[in-house]
Amino acid sequence: MGGIGLEKDPWNVILTGVGGQGNVFASRMLAKMLAAKGLWVTIGETFGATQRGGSVMSHVRVSVDRRLLSPQIPKGAADWVVALEPLEALRVLEGFGSPEVRMVLNDRPVYPMGVIAGEMDYPTQEALRADLDALSKEAFWLDLTGIAKALGSPALASTAILGAFVAKSGLSLTKEDAFLALKDSIPEKKLASNLEAFEAGRLAAGA
């Protein structure tokens, strides 16, 4: 079983962000790494509006045994929220958070259309941080878009956040596991930069 123990069973992780940020890709990669360790994994995701700037969420559920699990995590049952966009984390907490939830957050906002158009306000960093701190047990903020940009593309934030999440949640998953999960699903020329981003995310999170 590769030595992965779960702090809870089923263990529930929600990855969230905005369409186009690579949320679906990240959830698949996480699930693949865990499945490769012999765990039973499900992903529930909302496609549809993913390419049009809408909110996107993927629910990853992990268990040691094969069992019937709803692909959608029940209310209040998220153990971790991994957010590529901080406002989306807040939205997720309203449905799935609890005082026990922990979070890894990319601090880069992606503004909704109404904000871009100057009709609505995006909350200030402070207000958003205060909300998220009050609604979680722990919240780790990282500049993952910055890390990704330094590696050549803001799109790499999705792999970087996985690295950070793996480090923070104590999953014993390495760059090697990331390699195995990625090698068949992305073009070869993108492999190296994604692995680098994974590793950079891990290090940024203190691994």
* Interacting residues toward another protein by CB under 8 A: 18, 28, 31-32, 35, 38, 40-49, 51-55, 66, 68-72, 74-77, 87, 90-91, 93-94, 97-99, 111-123, 127-128, 131, 134-135, 154, 184
The contacts of residue 87 (CB under 8 Å, 6+ apart) are: 109, 110, 112, 122, 123, 128
The distance of closest approach from Cβ of residue 59 to another protein in the complex, given in angstroms and rounded to an integer, is 9
Contact by Cβ (8 Å): 72, 58: no
The distance of closest approach from Cβ of residue 13 to another protein in the complex, given in angstroms and rounded to an integer, is 13
The distance of closest approach from Cβ of residue 20 to another protein in the complex, given in angstroms and rounded to an integer, is 9
CA distances from 118 to 21, 90, 112, 121, 142 (A): 23, 21, 10, 8, 27
The distance of closest approach from Cβ of residue 160 to another protein in the complex, given in angstroms and rounded to an integer, is 17
Distance CA 70, CA 123 (A): 33
The distance of closest approach from Cβ of residue 206 to another protein in the complex, given in angstroms and rounded to an integer, is 28
Q: In terms of CB distance, is 19 or 163 closer to another protein?
A: 19
Q: In terms of CB distance, is 65 or 206 closer to another protein?
A: 65
Q: In terms of CB distance, is 21 or 159 closer to another protein?
A: 21
The distance of closest approach from Cβ of residue 163 to another protein in the complex, given in angstroms and rounded to an integer, is 20
Q: In terms of CB distance, is 51 or 172 closer to another protein?
A: 51
Identify each DSSP E strand in the chain by its residue range.
Answer: 11-18, 40-45, 55-63, 80-83, 102-106, 138-142
CA distances from 58 to 23, 33, 147, 164 (A): 7, 16, 23, 17
Distance CA 34, CA 15 (A): 15
Distance CA 89, CA 18 (A): 11
Contact by Cβ (8 Å): 183, 100: no
